[in-house]
């Protein structure tokens, strides 16, 4: 349940992640967790499997941390106007249950990890007012902390 929002990051989608890391790092005095590059496969809210090549990092400083995301295909993660907020990220204990609760309240599931039965690991929901929320499994908190300390993701 999101009763006491545990916002641990806010994400923006950028045109060029390395340029954004350098620019924002210098201007905001931020350092970055090791840059991650991977092909991310997700299931959309309507059950389609979509795969995108993405790059992402988090500011070491936080919470909340600043997440930068860059996507080659720009289907799921596409930049809006420069610096526009893409989403808020929160930890939750039960992704399928929280995703179902958000959906029942009119927050449309955009996409998430897992399979066609239920999202797992993470899910993005578009709230009725236009804010996008990424829910992430609480069990991954230690993994994020280790990564931001310079370890492997």
Look up the pTM and report it. 0.90
Better pLDDT: 104 or 118: 104
The residue among 137, 135, 131 whose CA lies nearest residue 7 is 135
Q: How far is CA 150 from CA 2, 50, 88, 127, 141, in A?
A: 29, 30, 23, 33, 15
pLDDT in tens, 64-77: 999 999 998 888 88
Task: Say if 123 falls within a structural domain.
Answer: yes
Q: What CATH number corresponds to the domain at position 71?
A: 3.10.180.10
Q: What are the phi and psi torsion angles at 96 (to 5°)?
A: -60, -40
Task: Say if 117 falls within a structural domain.
Answer: yes
Domain count, the chain: 1
- Which residue spans within 28-137 are E strands per DSSP? 36-44, 49-58, 65-71, 85-92, 108-114, 119-126, 132-137
Q: Which domain holds residue 30?
A: 7-148
Task: Say if 110 falls within a structural domain.
Answer: yes
Quick one: what percent of the chain has pLDDT higher than 90? 64
CA dihedral 37, 39, 44, 50 (to 10 degrees): 140
Task: Say if 2 falls within a structural domain.
Answer: no
Task: Say if 27 falls within a structural domain.
Answer: yes
Task: Say if 126 falls within a structural domain.
Answer: yes
pLDDT of residue 37: 95
Q: What is the mean pLDDT of residues 14-42?
A: 95
Task: Say if 1 falls within a structural domain.
Answer: no
């Amino acid at each position: 349940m999101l009763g006491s929002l545990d916002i641990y990051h806010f994400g923006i989608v950028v045109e060029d992640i390395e340029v954004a890391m350098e620019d924002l790092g210098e201007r905001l005095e931020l350092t970055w967790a090791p840059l991650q590059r991977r092909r991310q496969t997700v299931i959309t809210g309507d059950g389609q499997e979509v795969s995108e090549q993405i790059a992402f990092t988090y500011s070491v400083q936080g919470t909340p941390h600043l997440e930068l995301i860059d996507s080659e295909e720009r289907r799921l993660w596409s930049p809006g106007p420069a610096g526009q907020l893409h989403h808020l990220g929160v930890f939750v204990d039960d992704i399928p249950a929280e995703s179902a609760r958000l959906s029942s309240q009119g927050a449309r599931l955009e996409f998430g990890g897992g399979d066609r039965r239920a999202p797992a690991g993470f899910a993005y929901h578009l709230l009725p007012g236009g804010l996008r929320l990424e829910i992430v499994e609480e069990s991954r908190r230690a993994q994020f902390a280790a990564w931001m300390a310079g370890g492997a993701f």
